[in-house]
Amino acid sequence: KETVVSGIRSTGKLHIGNYYGAVKNFVQMQHEYNCYFFIADLHSLTTHPTPADLHGNVKHVLVEYLACGIDPEETTIYIQSDVPEIAELYLYLNMNAYMGELERSTSFKDKVRGNPDNVNAGLLTYPVLMAADILIHKATKVPVGKDQEQHLEMARTFGNRFNRLYNQDYFPEPYAFSYSKNLVKVPGLDGKGKMGKSEGEGNAVYLSDSPEIIRKKVSRAVTDSGPTAENQEKPEAIQNLFDLMKIVSSEDTLTHFEDQYNKMAIRYGDFKKQLAEDMIITTTPMRERINEIAADTSYLRQVAKHGALKARESAQKTIREVRELIGFKSF
């Protein structure tokens, strides 16, 4: 079986972008592959969370993984900081990651633009830590959304450099994966760009949002004053809502509103109502399980402990081999 690794940062609750971009693939892959799914709490330290926030957010992701249907019997679910071997591999990979290429990464440039007061070294070497997450289990497939594609390319670069230096084919090459033809990019509700936690209130629909909140967010989504010609190309804000409908609604529903738009007969109120109801239908089973699982602390403790043991077993094997390749020897 091929090995699969993926993770989500513990920076808050999961939104439907995380679900359709990543977690939905995790759930499907767990039966076919040797899977490791983790909570990237080390990555979340770049924004300096308080200890209480950090712990709460790790719990959110763990609970939501389970609520989405990731089965801890079938896969290895773990918390990144429970596996210190990852940090060790990160140190080794850092020796062959160059300033210039790290500075050129789009996610780094975006972070610098977004928060010029906190350009720490952890942000710069974020893709190296991500490469360590993947290479520590020698994974070949990494289910992620479109926004992570460049990070995967960097992971291949760092793995290949290690191979060239020490052993031609130690680390296999990891590739981004999705069951759909292309990697997924779920748009937000603010009329521009992708759904994200940091794009402002109301842009993201969370798996744990109640039906009332979903209706309110969708009703406030950015639109315009309607099409001005038949069969016209849709402006970004409108196209985004159609893209969301394509993800959560049936094909008939989508075609119906496409036709209405093309005939200039669309009523955005009805369109948004339908979109909200279909989002509610797709998220409700997960929301209900989130509430149940969150209450069961002893189960969560058991899942995290069991996962950490399994993940460390695999990580320790890699680190033993890596240390030997590098030339660390005892006297």
- For residue 186, give the amino acid letter: V
Which one of the spans 18-26, 50-58, 240-248, 286-294 is the region binding ligand TYM (CB under 6 A)?
18-26
Residue 272 within binding range of ligand TYM, rule CB under 6 A: no
Residue pair 194/182 in contact by the 8 Å Cβ criterion: no
Q: Exactly one of 111, 141, 217, 272 is catalytic; which is it?
A: 111
- Whole-Å CA distances, 60 to 22, 41, 52, 148: 16, 12, 12, 21
Residue position matching structure tokens 């070497």: 125
Residue 185 within binding range of ligand TYM, rule CB under 6 A: yes
Decide: helix, strand or coil at residue 252.
helix
305 is catalytic: no
Q: Identify the residue among 62, 130, 218, 319 touching ligand TYM (CB under 6 A).
A: 130
Residue 21 within binding range of ligand TYM, rule CB under 6 A: yes
Is residue 209 a known part of a binding site?
Answer: no
Q: What is the Cα–Cα distance from 92 to 35, expressed in whole angstroms?
A: 24
310 is catalytic: no
The smaller minimum CB distance to ligand TYM, of residues 49 and 196, is found at 196
Residue 144 within binding range of ligand TYM, rule CB under 6 A: yes
- For residue 14, give the amino acid letter: L
Which one of the spans 6-14, 65-73, 163-171, 277-285 is the region binding ligand TYM (CB under 6 A)?
6-14
The smaller minimum CB distance to ligand TYM, of residues 151 and 217, is found at 151
**Binding residues among 22-61 for ligand TYM as defined by CB under 6 A:** 22, 40, 43
The smaller minimum CB distance to ligand TYM, of residues 9 and 217, is found at 9
Is residue 249 a known part of a binding site?
Answer: no
The smaller minimum CB distance to ligand TYM, of residues 196 and 211, is found at 196
Report CA Rg, the chain. Answer: 21
CA 204 to chain centre: 14
Number of residues that bind ligand TYM (CB under 6 A): 26
Which one of the spans 94-102, 139-147, 228-236, 322-330 is the region binding ligand TYM (CB under 6 A)?
139-147
Q: Identify the residue among 184, 214, 241, 319 touching ligand TYM (CB under 6 A).
A: 184
Is residue 270 a known part of a binding site?
Answer: no
Q: Identify the residue among 9, 111, 215, 272 touching ligand TYM (CB under 6 A).
A: 9
Q: What is the Cα–Cα distance from 293 to 63, expressed in whole angstroms?
A: 6
Q: Exactly one of 197, 273, 310, 317 is catalytic; which is it?
A: 197
Q: Which secondary structure element, helix H or strand E, spans residue 34, and what is its range?
A: strand 34-40
Q: What is the Cα–Cα distance from 116 to 109, expressed in whole angstroms?
A: 10
Q: Which of 51, 67, 50, 74 is nearest to 13 (CA)?
A: 67
The smaller minimum CB distance to ligand TYM, of residues 9 and 59, is found at 9
Q: What angle do CA 166, 172, 177 make, to 5 degrees?
A: 150
Could you give the strand order of the β-sheet that contains 3-9, starting from the edge strand earlier in sequence?
76-79, 34-40, 3-9, 141-143, 175-177
The smaller minimum CB distance to ligand TYM, of residues 126 and 257, is found at 126
User: How would you classify the pairing of strands 34-40 and 3-9?
Assistant: parallel
Residues in the chain: 331
Q: What is the Cα–Cα distance from 54 to 205, expressed in whole angstroms?
A: 21
Residue pair 128/161 in contact by the 8 Å Cβ criterion: no
Q: Which residues does the annotation mark as catalytic?
A: 111, 194, 197
Binding residues: 9-11, 17-18, 133, 145-147, 186, 194-198
List contacts with ligand TYM (CB under 6 A): 5-9, 17-18, 21-22, 40, 43, 130, 133-134, 142, 144-145, 147-148, 151, 184-186, 194-196
